[in-house]
Structure 1
Amino acid sequence: MEISALMDRRTPRNRKLLPSIAGVAILAISSLACSAPEKSYETPDSLCGKSVPSKLLDPFMPPGKRVSVVSRNETEGIRRCRIYVDDKEVLSASSEWLNKDRSLLEVAAMAYNNVDPGDRKTKDGKYIYSPTGAIGKVTCLTPPTSSERVFASIRISGGKPNAKALKDLIREYAEELKNSDHCS
């Protein structure tokens, strides 16, 4: 029965019932507003099979019950993985062989990277990043070809945007890729 309907009925019982119903409704609403969603999963300590401290991934991880990581290496020269929280994509990372003459700005201009050529660049010129995406040049220790190089990318799709944390994450990910099997 709606509260307005109770107010229209002027019986003594309804007048006593109305404050109780209103009190329960206020209590229910306030308890929902005060309870913050929790993160009941452990943040991964790797990204696409590369060791990355979980503290670098943590800023992007939303509350949820479970996390899953899906890797795909279906396209030659591209390795990609996605992190999901409760079946919603939060972050994706990839490493890709491209022509070595491609600039960081050209790679940043690719539509799917969530980075624009005008976004922040590191002083060493190896990384470009925004709150939702980052690109990095990977200096392979044993490159298999002299005409190509590996670029690393990270895209935030459902997680929390954070430019500084993304800069730290792309640096670590690119460092881990330097001596990986994808670099040889």
Structure 2
Amino acid sequence: MSIDTDLVDSFMPPGKRIQQTENEAGLIVWTCEVSVDGKDVFRISHDNWEPGWSTRRFAVRHAYVKPVHEAADKSYVYSENGAVATVRCTDQGGDRDLFLVAKANENTAGAKGMEKFIVAYRDEFLKSDPCTDL
């Protein structure tokens, strides 16, 4: 996916070597871990989950993200160091929903930077029509 580098730079500490590691556990979970000079600094994941879970509930119970702020439509929550957005595949006839999770160990952009990232990431993720495989 193509995400504006300005949205990601605020999560990266100074360093010489950036490494990205992707892991996929079937259709259930996909993760991408980013490290700088061997230190984990940022993680993105998406989880295929049973329907009926609110974004806030998933954030607390499974993503370990504290939902300090919530979008008016409740489609995403975010805080200084984490964010969760929901893609409702059940609204499109699927039997599962997707939860997108972003977590940062360092964040110079604050909660607003995390919000901008999760919204941009969700918008880009939706372009791939992710619910067709569920």
TM-score (norm 2): 0.86
Higher helix share: 1
Distance 2:21 2:48 in 1: 20
Percentage of matched positions with identical amino acids:
28
Please show how residues 97-176 of structure 1 align to structure 2 within 5 Å.
97-110=48-61, 113-117=63-67, 119-139=68-88, 146-157=94-105, 159-160=106-107, 162-176=110-124
**2:41 is aligned with 1:90:** yes
Please show how residues 8-87 of structure 1 align to structure 2 within 5 Å.
50-87=1-38
Structure exhibiting the larger radius of gyration computed from Cα positions = 1
- Aligned CA RMSD, in angstroms, stands at 2.0
Structure 2 residue runs without a partner (length 5+): none
Higher-RCO chain (CA-CA 8 Å, sequence separation at least 6): 2
TM-score (norm 1): 0.64
Higher strand share: 2
Structure 1 residue runs without a partner (length 5+): 1-49
Deviations 1:100-128 (A, max 9, x none): 211112101125x34224x1001221110
Deviations 1:68-105 (A, max 9, x none): 11100024311110111001111000111111211112
